[in-house]
Structure 1
Amino acid sequence: MGGTDPTLRPFLWRAAKMYPDTEIVSRTGRGIERYDYAEFEDRTGKLANALDSAGVASGDRVATFCWNHHRHFETYFGVPNSGAQLHTINPLLPDHHIEYIVENADDRLIFVDPSLVEKLEGPADSEAFEAVEQFVVMGEEVPDTSLEPITDYESFVGDESTEYDWPDLSADTKAGMCYTSGTTGKPKGVEYTQQMLWSHTMATLTPQGLEFDESDVIMPVVPMFHVNAWGMPYSATAAGAKHVYPGPAPEPADLATLIEEEGVTFTAGVPTVWLGLLEYLDENDADLSSLETIVIGGSAAPEAVIRRFDEEYDVDVLHAWGMTETAPIGSVSHLKAGMEDWDADARYEKRGKQGLIVPGLEFKVVEDDGNEVPWNGEDFGELYIRGPWVTQSYFERPEANEEEFEDGWLKTGDVVTVDTDGYIKIVDRAKDVIKSGGEWISSLELENALMAHDDVSEATVIGVPHERWQERPVAFVVPVEGADEEALREEILADIEAEYPRWWTPDELVFIDEVPKTATGKFDKKVLREEYSDESLVEGRVPEEAAPDEE
């Protein structure tokens, strides 16, 4: 057989040689920092040499505890291309999860942001960090800290050569590692080989993926610790595009400024980020004329958000779906040829789905009895998926492997329908579907309906125990500032009753200040379920004639 193994190294080589002057821009605590691909290649070489000097060997795991910035980006190529494995740690996880992750991964070295040093000190003061030999602060100085031994990044790489003899790596060399958020138990480690990341990158570059090219200016708002920022740092590099990194805890004003001043064309993040930006734009002027596309993933994109960005700012919202286990892009909701001519409601309905499977993957939808469901947009079942960048096992978790994989298929836990055009629509997570009187209610659809109201900032729906119906839906709503809550309650419930069966209407609507969120920015229904597990808010709003049949 001819050719070489698929690895990440050629993406860096091509960007530095073909687009040496293209910028990498980073918002940091010191302001905006910028350099180009030529300098990036040099600094990546210095980093690889520094890792060798620190005793990091092929196969060792190197962790990051960082936000989105240029130094973090350097580890994306410097670590895996040297033969080590990059392990990105979510700093928003609770301390006991961080301890478990570091111990489970057996990390040798940890890069940590200055603003996160204090956060890391707690878990680092445990036996779980026994294998860690070095901490490196992502900056030019070391703050007062109990972490040791420790140095700053610029000193760590400072005296090293920019030339590095990159090894010839095999396709199955472990390149990356990310842990699931662990909202239902211990986090599960997912490893990515060189071939998995290469394959994912190539798929996202296609028109059916994210379709980057060298004219793009790409700003990943999705954290770099969360499944490699959805692979965007690799895809943007492969395309030769300009990178813009928004740094720690960017506010809507920061994002608007970066879009305007850096000419951002493409960005991505969870729905709450873009709801916040829309609220900011309601009160402030900002020039978004360069922005062409926003990818929304992590949870469902409300149709109202898709409509507003399209109609008010001429920005396409691409709805995408994926998982840590799929590295992560699995589907993207592009319109097929001819659908652009459909009326607006039909287009938005299609774009609100999780979309079409990207080239290279296969899926099926399976009922509880193991049979596949028809593609009719109505019947639903659990989504199974497989492909070259879909993991086949969890790291050192044989019990989870038995539960979540079957004959080469990943059982996603997402309950979906597929329409006659092949568009996947997530009805709910298997654990979030509400079973009332023997029938299913989609909490996800109710949430989208709630957030379509102009006076609703955030909303989530959970199933609350009910003596007769087993579960009933209860809605938790964050109103916009100044909203009339009583009037809003009546309008929301009337809108849902007009659109859905009477028994779908939430039995109670609770106004709250903020929806609890997981460490990756998703709505954390577990918190609300635990709060209301021993009591019911429901009062039997469903009349006998409107109720679903009981089992």
Structure 2
Amino acid sequence: MSINEEFVEKAQEFYDYPLTLLNLIKWGVDTFPEQEVIYAPPDAPKLRLTFAQVWDRVRRLASALEQLGVKPGDPKRLGTRVGVLEWNSHRYLELYYAVPGLGATLHTVNIRYSPEDLVYTINHAGDEILFIKDEFMPLLQAILPKLKTIRKVVVMSDKPEPPQVKLPGIEVYEYEDLIKRSNPYEFGDVDERTVATLFYTSGTTGLPKGVFFTHRQLVLHAMGISISTAAPPYELTIKDVVMPLVPMYHVHAWGGPHAMFLTGQRYIYTGRMDWGYILKTISEEKVTYVFGVPVILYLLLTHPDSSKYDLKGLKYGNGGSAIPEGLYKLARSRGIIVINGYGLSETAPVIAQALFKTQSLNWPEDKKENFLMKGLRQIPLVFLRVVDDQGRDVPRDGKTIGELVVRAPWLTPAYYKDPGKTKDLWRGGWLHTGDVAVWDSDGYIWIMDRLKDVIKSGGEWIVSTRLEDIISTHPAVGEVAVIGVPHPQWGERPVAVVVPRPGKKITEDDIKNYLMKFVEKGEIPKWWVPDKVIISERELPKTSTAKADKKALRELYKNVLSS
């Protein structure tokens, strides 16, 4: 009898343990039952729940979902799609587990989308039930006639007496009422290859694209980041207090709601982002680790109340886009330890972080800081390559630019209902990130730019992020984006859009003269200096994930060099 035949014969005699999200939360509750989840919105009292209480609410919510008609899927088909429009909250955390726990699919709807993109993604996903924060009801009422599949709506509110809502042709329920009148659900196992989550990319190029992930993928992702954030320079332990400032609709809030039950840290969800209130909460709750995109760090550091708070020792996990050098230095001046991370919607998201090797611990401080700001190593179970347009590895010389490609056990297998774009994403059997990078002789990865943001000038590449780094170090610069603009002779030329810091004044010549200092030092070639610097008194336009919207900037300034 072969080993495989024996395995099949005895399959009914042992428990084939599935890697499911339910087993994450159940293990966390068994191990850290008294650890806290805190919901601290700016306009309502704080709510403190233990892990055990969260689990009880998850089970009651699952009973309610079953009564609402939620059906399980399997590895070959999606279960009922349940959409959510909500800020970061304990309710969102409960939905993260109750919906997939039933074998259904959680659609984390991007609340920053335009109404048109909201309609498109909800219809494309085929959501049947929508959980929605009460403040978004006017938006829902406006788009409801265009929603083809929504049959039931559950309203969530922080108010003691939630508003009474009526929607034509729609059954409407209230979240806390469902929790109170439901008994704890007795979960069974679901197949670990069942799709647990579905969401859509930020839609900066064309229509948003759907990505989806199975239970198995998300458990392995949670394990990978739990291991990596326990290592230097993160060194997070059960003693840490974590505040995610990345939205829970965005790429699983970078895995925090899953990893938290493995690491046992206290988590604080802040509802709508109010930066002064968040600074106050960081101080009151003794938060030690915050993670989000660069603009969030900028808003915390430049808020009028920021100087009132001692932020020394706070760790900030940066992702979404590279952190400008000027912002990094501003954070370090306040004693904040910024650590670079990297991922995509397509990668669940985390695949690399600024993790130290043994020899890295002995580096001089300036080299450590450069690595923390820009460097990357793959986290456990991830393999990265930097390749040319033929799929061949470029030299590990720290200079030759190629595209970063990846393999890991938690990458989206396809774009939802889009085989054409899927084929391009996975060409050659590696997921193509669309980011250009170099790698050095030690295997460290340095992201240079997005392929679509690299400026092609006279047959050569100009790395927009390098120019942004330098400009951001000018003491009067608050925000900066460098874009490629059509040029009749060179194809494209760089244009910088600069927003001054509050209370500061700056001119185009100030920026160009500042860049010339770096030209004289040999850090950039003279032809990289932007043809034009636009000083804007308005903040840069942002994508739905709070990145500078370079697509919008390119459209706005497409004729600036030809006029």
With structure 1 as the length reference, what TM-score do the two structures score?
Answer: 0.92
Whether 2:27 is the aligned partner of 1:14: answer: yes
Shift of 1:388: 0.4
Whether 2:320 is the aligned partner of 1:298: answer: yes
CA distance in 2, matches of 1:335, 1:347: 9
Whether 2:40 is the aligned partner of 1:40: answer: no
Shift of 1:309: 3.1
**1:174-213 mapped onto 2 (5 Å cutoff):** 174-207=195-228, 212-213=236-237
1:454 aligns with one of 450, 475, 483: 475
Whether 2:386 is the aligned partner of 1:365: answer: yes
| Aligned AA (1:379) | T
Q: Which residue in the other structure is 2:152 paired with?
A: 134
| Aligned AA (2:414) | S
2:294 aligns with one of 253, 262, 271: 271
Q: Which residue in the other structure is 1:65 paired with?
A: 85
Q: Which residue in the other structure is 2:173 paired with?
A: 151
Please tell me the root mean square deviation across aligned C-alpha atoms, in Å: 1.9
CA distance in 2, matches of 1:299, 1:268: 13
1:180–1:189: 8 Å Cα contact kept in structure 2? yes
Helix, strand or coil at the partner of 1:435: strand
Relative distance call for 1:379 and 1:12 in structure 2 (3 A) is same
Q: Report Cα offsets for 1:254-312 as digits up to 9, x if no partner.
A: 221111111211110000000111113785311335x5421100010123333443453
Q: Which residue in the other structure is 2:75 paired with?
A: none
Aligned pairs, number: 532
CA distance in 2, matches of 1:348, 1:488: 27
Helix, strand or coil at the partner of 1:76: helix
Whether 2:412 is the aligned partner of 1:391: answer: yes
Whether 2:346 is the aligned partner of 1:344: answer: no
Relative distance call for 1:82 and 1:283 in structure 2 (3 A) is closer
CA distance in 1, matches of 2:201, 2:32: 35
Helix, strand or coil at the partner of 2:37: strand
CA distance in 2, matches of 1:213, 1:194: 25
CA distance in 2, matches of 1:269, 1:143: 35
CA distance in 2, matches of 1:212, 1:537: 52
Whether 2:209 is the aligned partner of 1:169: answer: no
CA distance in 2, matches of 1:5, 1:144: 40
Shift of 1:74: 0.7
Relative distance call for 1:425 and 1:537 in structure 2 (3 A) is farther
| Aligned AA (2:70) | V
Shift of 1:352: 2.1
**Which is worse superposed, 400-409 or 491-500?**
491-500
| Aligned AA (1:38) | A
CA distance in 2, matches of 1:259, 1:360: 33
| Aligned AA (2:83) | A
**Which is worse superposed, 300-309 or 524-533?**
300-309
Relative distance call for 1:414 and 1:490 in structure 2 (3 A) is closer
Q: Could you list the runs of 5+ residues in structure 1 that have no partner in the other structure?
A: 539-551
Whether 2:32 is the aligned partner of 1:54: answer: no
Shift of 1:146: 4.2
Q: Which residue in the other structure is 2:346 paired with?
A: 325
Helix, strand or coil at the partner of 1:284: helix
2:557 aligns with one of 515, 519, 532: 532
| Aligned AA (1:474) | V
Q: Which residue in the other structure is 1:242 paired with?
A: 266
Helix, strand or coil at the partner of 1:377: coil
Shift of 1:31: 2.7
Shift of 1:99: 1.0
**1:273-288 mapped onto 2 (5 Å cutoff):** 273-280=296-303, 284-288=307-311
**Which is worse superposed, 491-500 or 473-482?**
491-500
CA distance in 2, matches of 1:89, 1:471: 36
CA distance in 2, matches of 1:194, 1:371: 33
Q: Which residue in the other structure is 2:533 paired with?
A: 509
Q: Report Cα offsets for 1:189-216 as digits up to 9, x if no partner.
A: 1111000100000000113676643222
Helix, strand or coil at the partner of 1:465: strand
Whether 2:443 is the aligned partner of 1:443: answer: no
**Percent of aligned pairs sharing the same letter:** 36
Shift of 1:42: 0.7
Shift of 1:483: 1.9
CA distance in 2, matches of 1:85, 1:213: 31
| Aligned AA (2:344) | M
Relative distance call for 1:506 and 1:42 in structure 2 (3 A) is same
Shift of 1:144: 5.0
Whether 2:553 is the aligned partner of 1:521: answer: no
Q: Could you list the runs of 5+ residues in structure 2 that have no partner in the other structure?
A: 1-6, 8-13, 73-78
CA distance in 2, matches of 1:56, 1:211: 40
Relative distance call for 1:116 and 1:101 in structure 2 (3 A) is same
Relative distance call for 1:283 and 1:220 in structure 2 (3 A) is closer
| Aligned AA (2:257) | P
| Aligned AA (1:30) | A
Helix, strand or coil at the partner of 1:331: strand
2:403–2:433: 8 Å Cα contact kept in structure 1? yes
Relative distance call for 1:344 and 1:305 in structure 2 (3 A) is farther
CA distance in 2, matches of 1:535, 1:454: 26
CA distance in 1, matches of 2:119, 2:194: 26
1:367–1:373: 8 Å Cα contact kept in structure 2? yes
Helix, strand or coil at the partner of 2:412: coil
